[in-house]
Amino acid sequence: MADTKYIFVTGGVSSSLGKGIIAASLAKLLQSRGYKTTIQKLDPYINIDPGTLNPYEHGECFVTEDGAETDLDLGHYERFLNVNTSQANNVTTGRIYQSVIEKERRGEFLGKTVQVVPHITNEIKRRIQLLGQNGDYDIVITEIGGTVGDIESLPYIESVRQLKWELGDHNSLVIHLTLVPYLSAAKELKTKPTQHSVKTLMESGISADILVCRTEHELSEDLRQKLAQFCNVKQEAVIQSIDASTIYDVPNLMLEEGLDTITLKKLNLPNDSQPDLTNWNKFVNRHKNPKSEVTIGLIGKYVELQDSYKSILESFIHAGAENEVKVNIKSIHSEFINTEGKDEISALDGILVAPGFGERGIEGKIEAVKYARENNLPFFGICLGMQMAVIEYARNVLKIEDANSTEMEEQTKNPVIDIMESQKNITQMGGTMRLGAWDCELKEGSLVQKTYGKTTISERHRHRYEYNNKYKEQLEAAGMLSSGINKQTGLVEVVELPNHPWFIGVQYHPEYKSTVKTPHPLFIGFVKAAKDYAKKKKK
């Protein structure tokens, strides 16, 4: 009998149906009943991690406290559960094969032929059970990326089949998320894609225990009965997941459908308490009933794909609810600011200059910073956004016209932003940046210290280039305060302008730590500043 119960979430028919949100919502319901719950993501791509992927390929790269570069779904897990994830919560095919090949090179397989079964599947099963073996969790939910039938996912599906058999009755279950499309010409919902998806899963030796059906229209009892009959599940285990106005509605929708109830029943776990969603629903109520609105410009170079800045967008939702304000995000591509973006910026209540890599769109970001600085528009710069603020100030206030970052211009004579010493001899790109949580000391009485309400903080990093301390004295003399310092390295983590209503740039990524329960103070402060700015504009 296993001490930890395992739930596997698979997907069919189409990608991007929201497995991560369903997994996080179920975890939230189980957590609110008192069960210690975590979620992990198995990604079938061969990259070791998403750290070297372009955001257009896979959305943002989420960074954990221990410095793992992971799938963006881990951000959802943390935002819903308010529990930190780690390296163990995200596994890729690349990492699985790397581990197995390293073992083979060390001779650990005693000369045996290394095969997908059992060697790859054994490694997958080991990774799945890592979180359950430390005694911290009652339930581990494992989301399997991709869709059933994908060639890349087959080893994961086979591993789940083996693990279900090994764990024994009532110790695991499979939730299959599928699509029930609506054909407008026929004016009816069609179940055949779901039937085929479940059949494909069964061909791999797995029967779905629970069906979660994504739909734009209500599922009738007749249709649920049909799905149950042809997909070989109980009718009570056919769960409707209808389109919601916000992802934060999904836990309540799943509660209404009884997803947590049927899950506990199938896992043979006590169902003697009701989920306590009091605080969650207070947040949802504030989010859906704002008292005012602000418009924030998100200045970035991956703005065509919303998932590129997923954590930032969600952080604005958390901070908006805290301020009882609706935050409208205006995405502005930094490549086009020089030609057409300034008019857009003038209509905003604040701008956030987003993180990124490479030289494309840099001059537009610098122009946006300049406008915010000169017009007292609330400004928030994150990572590259902070670096652009330093470059803009050096160029336009210190009059160092060729000030730049060595990331953009390797031979620049005035590198106000420079590559870290520890990074100069690195040749491999993956997993080699400054990553994970680092402490920072905040200057007493500074805006950032007042915003946090404390002088020592810990924030997550993901970058190679830093504020160059050789220019610190000049910049500070000209009015740019270095208000956050990493004591371990002596590097500047935060800059601000004391003579500006709200102008803060941070080297780290505060968006990774904002959750429903604990919205990030910097986002709260920035949204409040934008709210005050909007009020002044109306007068």
Residue 498 labelled as part of a binding site: no
The answer to whether the annotation marks 151 as part of a ligand binding site is: yes
Q: Which of 69, 383, 459, 520 is catalytic?
A: 383
- Distance from C-alpha of 63 to C-alpha of 511, rounded to nearest angstrom: 10
Q: Which helix (H) or strand (E) holds 164?
A: helix 154-167
Cβ of 536: how many Cβ atoms within 10 Å? Answer: 10
Residue 459 tokens, joined = 């924030």
Residue 511: active-site member: yes
Instruction: Tell whether 288 is in a known binding site.
Output: no
- Binding site annotation covers 519? no
The answer on whether 205 is annotated among ligand-binding residues is no
To the question of whether residue 381 is assigned a binding role by annotation, the answer is: no
Among residues 123, 440, 511, 520, the one annotated as catalytic is 511
Label the pairing between strands 182-183 and 188-189. antiparallel
Q: Which amino acid is at 421?
A: E
* Residue 15 annotated in ligand binding: yes
Q: What is the DSSP string of 190-210?
A: --HHHHHHHHHHHHTT---SE
- The response to whether 27 counts as a known ligand-binding position is no
Residue 93 is labelled as binding a ligand = no
CA-CA distance, 308 to 168, in Å (whole number)?
41
Note if 509 is an active site residue. Answer: yes
Classify residue 508 as left (phi > 0), alpha (psi -120 to 50) or beta.
beta
Dihedral sign (CA 486, 487, 488, 492): positive
Q: How many residues does the chain have?
A: 539
Q: Is 529 one of the annotated binding-site residues?
A: no
| 3-state secondary structure at position 81 | helix
Instruction: Please indicate whether residue 322 is annotated as part of the active site.
Output: no
In angstroms, rounded to a whole number, what is the distance separating the alpha carbons of residues 301 and 299?
7
Find out whether 192 is annotated in a ligand binding site: yes
Which of 287, 461, 500, 509 is an active site residue? 509
Residue 507 in marked binding region = no
Question: Does the annotation flag 244 for ligand binding?
Answer: yes
Q: Is 38 annotated as a binding residue?
A: no
Distance CA 160, CA 128 (A): 9
Q: Minimal CA–CA distance to 432: which of 52, 23, 33? A: 52
What are the residue numbers of the active site?
383, 509, 511
| Binding site listing for CTP | 15, 150-152, 190-195, 226
| Binding site listing for L-glutamine | 56, 356, 384-387, 407, 464
| Binding site listing for UTP | 15, 190-195, 226
| Binding site listing for Mg(2+) | 73, 143
| Binding site listing | 15-21, 56, 73, 143, 150-152, 190-195, 226, 244, 356, 384-387, 407, 464
